[in-house]
Amino acid sequence: MSVPGIVAINTFREAVRDRVLYNLVFFALIMIGAAILVGQISIGIERLVIVNLGLTAISVFGLVMSIFIGVGLVYKEIEKRTLYTLLAKPIRRWQFLVGKYGGLLLTLTVNTFFMALGLAAALFYVGRTFVRSDALILVAIYFILLELALVTAIALFFSCFSTPMLSTLFTLGIYVTGVFATDIRNIAGFTSNGAIVYPTRFLYYVVPNFHNFNAIGLAAHGGQIPFALFWQNTAYAALYVALLLIASAAVFSYRNFK
């Protein structure tokens, strides 16, 4: 196995040891609660709530995991001084970073997979059957995974040179800005002042656009997701992650641990 692969597997094992996957229990409880309760307190949205709540929970739980674990990925190794032992071995710094990133991504994928199973079970409980449009939920989950991959890369980037507290704030800040990316673009439409138009337009293209990955509403209503969006989002996330990993490797390689 390649060096990043070994680091990734160990990062995944560490996450499992740290009982990170316990959040699945909470997810299951939320799904069971919603499936039983919503029919009693609302009208006509039993299935919608299961889809919306399930996808939102997958996204929120994943985001919390990717940010809070992501910002500690490198910092923890430095703090515990395990990084020195690792770097003394024939491991390049970028390999270590890519491995760490891959490990957390694997954890998030496994976590998301089990949540998707839970969501499917809750949907089946409510509807007693699956319909064709339920396949869209899988696309929405895939988009959430892309979003998590991007957030993890941002968290890892900050983790390379900052404390977990500050990295969390920076990552959250970029995430929220990315959610409002479309509004940032729209600001340019309100004015013809170049001092506002060009910086906002620049910001729109620089900030990762998390709005792209939001297909929860579409999945809930059985709308259509064009195939082009599928590969465009994949390419967008892959490019951005590559960019962030290269930037992280560059920062990390110059970092002095003495």
Partner 1 sequence: MSRPSQTRVVWTAVFALPLLFASVAALQTRIDAQTRKQSQTQEMLLLSSPTVVKKLSLGYDSLLADVYWTRVVQYYGERLVKGGADYDLLWPLLDITTTLDPKLVVAYRFGAIFLSLPHVPPGSNLVGGAGRTDLAVELVKRGIAANPENWVLDSDLGFLYYWQLKDYKNASAAYLDGSTKPKAPQWLKMMAARVAAKGGSFENSSLIWSEVYASTKNPQIQKLAWTMLRALRAQDDEMHLDELATAYRKRIGRYPTSTAELLNAGYLTKIPVDPAGHPYVFGAEGKSRLAPDSPVVIPPK
Question: DSSP letters along 125-177, please?
Answer: HHHSS--GGGHHHHHHHHHHHHHHHHHHHHHHHHHTTS-HHHHHHHHHHHHHH
Nearer to partner 1, 97 or 136 (CB): 136
Residues 6+ apart with CB under 8 A from 219: 51, 55, 136, 137, 139, 140, 225
Q: How far is the CB of 57 from partner 1 (least distance, A)?
A: 9
For residues 140 and 112, give the distance between their C-alpha atoms in angstroms, rounded to a whole number.
12
Residue placing its CB nearer to partner 1 in the complex, 165 or 176: 176
Is the Cβ of residue 40 or residue 192 nearer to partner 1 in the bound state? 40
3-class SS of residue 206: helix
# residues near partner 1 by CB under 8 A: 25
Q: What angle do CA 210, 211, 213 make, to 5 degrees?
A: 70
Question: What count of Cα atoms within 13 Å lies in the side-chain half-sphere of residue 249?
Answer: 18
With contacts defined by CB under 8 A, name the span among 9-17, 175-183, 187-195, 199-207 that binds partner 1. Answer: 175-183
Residue 133 lies near partner 1 (rule: CB under 8 A): no
**Quick one: 15 or 67, whose CB is closer to partner 1?**
67
Residue 154 within binding range of partner 1, rule CB under 8 A: no
**Which of 69, 150, 174, 220 forms a contact with partner 1 (CB under 8 A)?**
220
Shortest Å, Cβ 204 to partner 1: 16
223 binds partner 1, rule: CB under 8 A? yes
Whole-Å CA distances, 145 to 4, 116, 132, 140, 256: 20, 11, 22, 9, 33
Tokens 């900030």 locate to 207
Per CB under 8 A, which region of 5-13, 157-165, 210-218, 239-247 contacts partner 1? 210-218
Which of 30, 67, 184, 216 lies at the binding interface for partner 1 (CB under 8 A)?
216
Q: Are 152 and 66 in contact (CB under 8 A)?
A: yes
Interface segment toward partner 1; rule CB under 8 A; list 127-135, 156-164, 220-228, 246-254: 220-228
CA–CA dist 55, 166 (Å, integer): 28
Q: What are the strands, taking DSSP E only, across 7-130?
A: none
Q: Which of 68, 180, 230, 236 binds partner 1 (CB under 8 A)?
A: 180
The distance of closest approach from Cβ of residue 38 to partner 1 in the complex, given in angstroms and rounded to an integer, is: 7
Give the footprint of partner 1 on residues 38-97 (CB under 8 A): 38, 41-45, 48-49, 52-53, 56, 59-60
Residues that bind partner 1 (CB under 8 A): 38, 41-45, 48-49, 52-53, 56, 59-60, 176, 179-180, 183, 210-211, 214, 216-217, 220-221, 223
